[in-house]
Structure formats: C-alpha cells, structure tokens
Structure 1
Amino acid sequence: MSGSFHAAPVPPPSSEAGDGLGDQSLALYFQSQLPDLPERVLEDVWRSMPEVARASPHCSEHDAPSAVDPRLRAFVRNIADPTRSPEDRARMHRALGRSAYLHGVDPVLLQSAYQAGARFAWRRLAEALRRSGATADQLLRATEAVLASAEELSGHALASYRELSEDGTEALRRNRQRLLQVILAEPGSVAPDALSRAANAARWTVPRSIACVVLDRRWETGERLSPALDPDVLSDLRHPEPRLILPEPDRPGRIDRLRRALQGMRFAVGTRVGVAEAAQSLRIAEHALSLLRQGAFRDADHVRCDDHLSTLLLLNDEHLARRLVERRMAALERLETEPRRRLLETLLAWLSTGSQAQAAVRLHLHPQTVRYRMRRLDELFGDQLHDPAWRFEMELAIRAHRLLPHPATSLQRTD
C-alpha cells in the first residue's frame, strides 16, 4: 500500500537525454518536489478503505480516515524513505499484515489496498513527471518501479497475514479439541469455570443441549470433514473412535447435514442432553454404534438414539436380555423353527393389541387361524397368559429376541 511510494529502484535519468531532471534520482526528486506524497496517497486509500485504516499499527480506532495521525505520518515516511534498507521496509509491512489479521481485515481487502495505493501514487507521480518534462522511457520506468514496489511490499504483508492465519487456525483447532475434552470429562473432574474458559478460547457459544456422535471407523490421515458440516460442531477425529459434539441436535436439518459431511460413513448420535451430561450421551452413542455394527438397526447407515430408546433400553445389557428371552421362551424350545416363529408372531400381536380379532387384522390372517394359534399357546403357557406381569415380560422378551444380533441359546431369530 504505502510502500508503493518507494521509487528508489528507478535509476537517475541520463543527462544526455536532454530532460529537465539532470542526474537527480527520481526518488530524491519525488522527495524534494512531492514532500507530502505519502500522506496524500495514504489519505486516498484510507478514505476509500476505512477498514484498512483502522488496522494500521499506528492508527487508533477513533482516528478519522481523512485525518492522518502524526504517528502514521512518521510510519509512512519511514516506509517511503529511499535510504531505508529492504529489511526495514519488509519488517514494517509485515507489521501491517499482522495488524490487519488481528483487526479482522480480509486478505483480499488488504491486497486491494496495496493495489489502490499504487494507483493513487502513480497518478500523482505521473503528473509530476509530466510537469518535469520527463521522457516516455522515464515514465515507463517510474510505472514499473511503483508496481514492483507495491508487489514486493504487499507480499511481505500478506505473508505475515497468512502465517498468523495458519497459526490461528491451528490454535483454534487445539482449543476446540481441548473444549471437547472438557465437555466429555466426568462430572467433578474439572474446575467449575473450566467450561466457560475453554469455550471462550475456542470461540464457541455454549448451547442449551448437545448430542455426542461417534463414527464407525478411524479417520484416515489427510481426510477432512465436508464443508456441509455446521461450523459449531466440535470434532476429535484423531481419537481411535472419532467423535463429534453436535450442538442443538434437534435443529432442523442438523442430521441431514451431518450425513452429507460424513459422506456415507456410519455413525450413531447419542441422546440429547445438557452439556453437563455429555459423557452419558457419548456412552449411549457408543453402545448404539456397537448395535448398529451388529445389525440391530437393519440396514441403516446411522442411528439416532432418541428415536430408539426402547431398543437401547432392552439391549443395554445383552446378558440380561438373553436371560429374559431364555427364561420366558423356554416352553418353545422343543418346537421346530417355523411353528415357533408363527406362534411368537401371533403372541406378540395379541399382547400388543389385547384381542384376537385385532391380532388377526394386524397379521392379515383369518380369525380362525389366530384362534387356533392362541389355543396352542394356551397349551404351552396356560394361566400365565392372563398374568399382567408375565405378559409384560413376555412382550419384552419377544422384542429383545428380534433385536438381539445372535440367537439366544437354542432359540433362533424370529424374523
């Protein structure tokens, strides 16, 4: 930007050319004939791009863009001084790049400011050169000098900007991983204010509810989540079982965007909980993913735990679920597979609807067929069919039997 005022690279015009500059260098000529050039160009840039003005390391937030602060005058004069070393100029423009990053100036805008500075400077320099009687060759050399200086010094500023941006991105990633660890810590294992401090460092607004998500496989080196993923989702892809924290999981479109971001990978979304209960949501999601891998949710590519609470409850302890199946279905063990399947199907329909007629409608069977099967069930179970506690446990047992990934003892799956 202001570095485009530095015309030192232009060699002095030859006295043999018969021009009015003699052996003076253009840089010294500009210094003597245009002493206010840096400030004038700077005012032009500041007036057209006030966001860049506020990012200057020598400009306070309340400085008016049209009124150049004396500290800024000194800063610009030092940059425009042809006697300053390239290292000094580079250092100053790197400082401007750092300041632009810290003030949130877009790098495209920063580069545009340098280009605008070059244009403004060139208009004023060209006017002075024409008044001096400079030749076309001298005019061309001056143009090249302005453009080369602007390109060189904007390069220093943008390089400094990019370094900070990359460092900031990496620091933000680390802070977000730290926040995820704080959220998933067991209650009482972190300081009371640890969450608020970690959230501030990660630029994350603590939501009213979250759900933990676990992925089906390890994340490969170099893989990245799709941009479809919402920016407030926290992730730890380096964990042996990669996990995410999904804020406000009931928000419309959340799960659809998650599926697109994961590009076909299977996953489980834990129960919706407050942030303080995140560890519990994670445990349930891990259990659901294990069941998903075993086929408990048919051919689904993901499972949302809040939609399958009864299944998760039934299979929360597989050993107990199998014991329930074995105990309640012992009377059916001696039957062949197909007769047993038909009786269990009818019994579940009857337990669910409360009547033989409704069971027949649900199963699309003739009522006589259901009556026959119920007589056979009465022979097997007798008065237990009329015991409310037994009926409740039997319904649970049949549903668990259908969900269990492997047969319980000698019983086989019914579907």
Structure 2
Amino acid sequence: MSEPLPDVRTFRLAPAVVRPLRSRLPHVATQTIDAIMAEVPAYKEAFAGVLGAKIERAVRAALGTFLELVSRGHGPDPQSPLAPALAAAYALGRGEARSGRTLDALLGAYRVGARVSWHELAKISVSSGQPAATIAHFAELVFAYIDELSAASVAGHADELASSGRARLRLLEQLAQALLAGQAEPALTEAALRADWFPPRTLTAVLVPEHASRAVIDLLDRRTLQLSDAGPGAQDRSVLLVPDAEGTSRDALVGLLRGQSAIVGPARPWAQVKASYDRTVRILQIPRLASGRGVVDSEDHLAELVLTADPQALADLRTRMLAPLAAASDASAAKLVETLRSWLRHQGRREEVAAELFIHPQTVRYRMSRLRELYGDRLQDPDWTSSLIIALSAPDPIG
C-alpha cells in the first residue's frame, strides 16, 4: 500500500532549497501554462480569450503560494497562505460549474500543472546541488499541494451545482404555479425565460399521489414541470405538466404510467394548461373514477365529465324527466326506469332490450305500454327523449 502524501500545511523546506526556486518562478509558471494550453484543449481557447490573463495570474499565484507555504518558519502559523489558495481553487470550481463545464478539464489542468511544475522545479533543485532525499520530499509536497487544490475545486463545483440547481428548481416551481393560476401568456413567457425553460407546443396535466411523484417524473420528458401538493381539490397529489404528449406520444405517456395511480388530462397549448389541470381535478370529483387504481385517461370519460359538470342541474333534470313515475312504488319505478334506459339506448328494438335486461320480450312490451301511458306523446318528442337520455345516462337516477 502506498504511503500517504505529507501534510503540506506542516512540512517545511530550508531557505537554501527554496531560494533558487523562487528566483526561477516566472520561468516555471510560463512552462506550466504552455503545457496546460497544449494538453488540455478546453483551456486553449480560454487562455487565448479574456480569461487568459486571469488564468495566468492564478497559475503564478498558486506556485508562489506553494513556495511561501513550504518556506515559512516552523511552528504554528494562523496566517497560513494555504487558506487563500484553497479559497481561490474553490472559487475556480464554482466558476467552472457556472460556465456549464464539468471538472474534467480543470482536474486535467491540475494534473498537467503538477507534473510540469515538478519537472521544472526538480531541474532547478538538481542544478543547485540539492540531495536526492530532499528532492523526493519536494515531489511529495508538490503533489500533496495539488491534491488540496483539486479537492477545494471539486467542493466548489459541487456546491455551485447544488446551489444553482436549487435556485432553478424554485424558478421552475414558480413557473408551474403561474401556469396553474392561469396567468397571462406574457407573464408566463417571462417566468419561463427566468427558469431557462423553453416552452413546448402543448402541456398535459397529470395527477399522481405525492409519494409516487419522484418515481413517475423520472420516466417522463426531462422538461416536465412538477408542483407538489397541487392545492384545493387535489390534496396529497402532485401535478406534473408533461410537454407535447399528443397522439402517439399520449399513448406512450399512458403506457409509461401503467402500474401507477394517475389521472391524465387533455393536451392543451402550453400557456393554457390550467384547463388540462382543471379537468384532472374534475375527475377527482367523480367518486367512481377517483377511487379506482391505475391510469385514468380523462379523454375516455368526456361524456361522464359533461354529465357531472353541474350535479344540481342533473338532479333537477332527473326529477323533471322522471316525474311521471312519482306515483309508482320504488320497485316498480326502478324496473320501468331500467327498461326505459335500455329502450332509448337500443332505439326501441325490443329483442335487444330483452337480451340486455334478461327478460322476456313480452315483459318489455308490457313495461313500454305502461311507460307510454305515463308519458303519453312525450316519448315521441325528440327534445323530450334527448333530455331523458341525459337524465338516465348517469348512474342511480332514482333515489
């Protein structure tokens, strides 16, 4: 097992070792910069541009700090020059993250810098007559120092990604809130710009239980917006706003959600997705659909949504349409309603009504004769029969 690198904070070199190195520091810095430019392509352009002078100063400062660090007197020193160097390396890592770059180039530059600067510093030490043991210790110090700087840059990069990620998540959440609040399109466009989110052609609202939202969103388009605890009417649910889920893409969305408890609204122009969300909430207000498991596609339940849009109006319509049956007993009224519903559905075809209800065709004839007595000519009125169809389309028309 390899020996650990020395603690660069405590190791010291004699002034006689450091003096020739310090005098040749500008040359070492130049060689180091040239090597980084040649071997790390991502930095070649940076050195050529406005950042070049800053990077050169950073390299020279890092080398100078190293020599300062290893040439101080022995004993505790609260003003160690390593702290500013680590702060600069940390800031460099954050800057790489803000520029959208990974750490590959920066860590590569550190490796090249360590190798080349050590090569140059070793040549100087050899030419000044330093013993091999001293030069070997010096090598360990160089690489320990680079390890410290690399670790600080890694921490800075990670912290910047976490910080910017949290900030963007807040902006995306604010955008989702604005969409569900039905704000005007100019305000929505501005919110999308702030969140660095490019609007799709359409959005589709999907309601899922809050505890399942993380697993579900990982299956969907990465541009999907999420809002936890969607609000009144959708408690304990998360709303996902899925981009461009139309046609075959909608089929794919429903397929991805299979096995989950989800309610899928219609696709709407992205700035009008509130209408899609409102429909998913309406589905939750229909007990038969809200209590079921699996995927509920709102497009498969449009008639029921229409019928239940105004429950009181539907109840009033039932009362009016079934008023002729008010005098009949409950059992008799229920059979007559069942027969009337089937008769309307099958457009008066007696054999089909009998087959659906598992009764004899003569029983159908008897019941329809009774209904004609109660309703009279109204069963021949298209407007009246249309209203009857609506009144009898929803479950439990009596009671």
* TM, length-normalised to structure 1: 0.73
Deviations 1:11-58 (A, max 9, x none): 437xxxxxxxxx732x5454456753333334333434333555x6xx
CA distance 1:364–1:135, change in 2 (3 Å): farther
1:127 is displaced (CA, Å) by 6.6
Match of 1:45 among 36, 56, 61: 36
- Hey, what's the Cα distance between the residues in 2 that align with 1:325 and 1:194? 44
Show the counterpart of 2:356. Answer: 363
- Hey, what's the Cα distance between the residues in 1 that align with 2:130 and 2:362? 113
- Hey, what's the Cα distance between the residues in 1 that align with 2:130 and 2:334? 102
CA distance 1:101–1:297, change in 2 (3 Å): closer
Q: Which amino acid aligns with 1:393?
A: S
CA distance 1:143–1:257, change in 2 (3 Å): farther
Show the counterpart of 2:227. Answer: 236
Q: Sequence identity, in percent?
A: 26
- Map 1:179-190; keep pairs closer than 5 Å: 179-186=175-182
Show the counterpart of 1:396. Answer: 390
1:316 is displaced (CA, Å) by 0.6
CA contact (8 A) 2:26 2:60 kept: no
Unaligned runs of 5+ in 2: 1-7, 70-80
1:223 is displaced (CA, Å) by 7.9
CA distance 1:151–1:343, change in 2 (3 Å): farther
Show the counterpart of 2:60. Answer: 77
- Hey, what's the Cα distance between the residues in 2 that align with 1:373 and 1:60? 94
Kindly indicate whether residue 88 of structure 2 is the aligned counterpart of residue 87 of structure 1.
no
SS at match of 1:36: helix
- Hey, what's the Cα distance between the residues in 2 that align with 1:362 and 1:134? 108
The structure with more helix, counted as a fraction of residues: 2
Show the counterpart of 1:197. Answer: 190
- Map 1:3-152; keep pairs closer than 5 Å: 11-12=12-13, 24-25=16-17, 27-32=18-23, 35-52=26-43, 59=47, 61=49, 69-81=52-64, 82-83=67-68, 85-122=81-118, 137-138=133-134, 140-152=136-148
CA distance 1:358–1:210, change in 2 (3 Å): farther
CA contact (8 A) 1:180 1:236 kept: yes
CA contact (8 A) 1:52 1:105 kept: no
CA contact (8 A) 2:180 2:274 kept: yes
1:135 is displaced (CA, Å) by 5.8
Q: Which amino acid aligns with 1:167?
A: S
SS at match of 1:228: coil
Q: Which amino acid aligns with 2:60?
A: R
Show the counterpart of 1:279. Answer: 274
- Hey, what's the Cα distance between the residues in 1 that align with 2:118 and 2:336? 93
Show the counterpart of 2:78. Answer: none
Kindly indicate whether residue 288 of structure 2 is the aligned counterpart of residue 295 of structure 1.
yes
SS at match of 1:210: strand
- Hey, what's the Cα distance between the residues in 2 that align with 1:302 and 1:322? 29
Kindly indicate whether residue 374 of structure 2 is the aligned counterpart of residue 383 of structure 1.
no
- Map 1:211-360; keep pairs closer than 5 Å: 211-215=204-208, 219=210, 224=214, 226=216, 227-240=218-231, 241=235, 242-250=238-246, 251-252=249-250, 253-257=252-256, 264=260, 266-291=261-286, 294-296=287-289, 299-332=292-325, 334-337=328-331, 343-356=336-349, 359-360=352-353
SS at match of 1:249: coil
* TM, length-normalised to structure 2: 0.76
SS at match of 1:308: helix
Show the counterpart of 1:209. Answer: 202
SS at match of 1:205: coil
SS at match of 2:158: helix
CA contact (8 A) 1:79 1:89 kept: yes
- Hey, what's the Cα distance between the residues in 2 that align with 1:343 and 1:193? 57
- Hey, what's the Cα distance between the residues in 2 that align with 1:302 and 1:370? 38
Unaligned runs of 5+ in 1: 1-6, 14-22, 64-68
1:199 is displaced (CA, Å) by 0.7
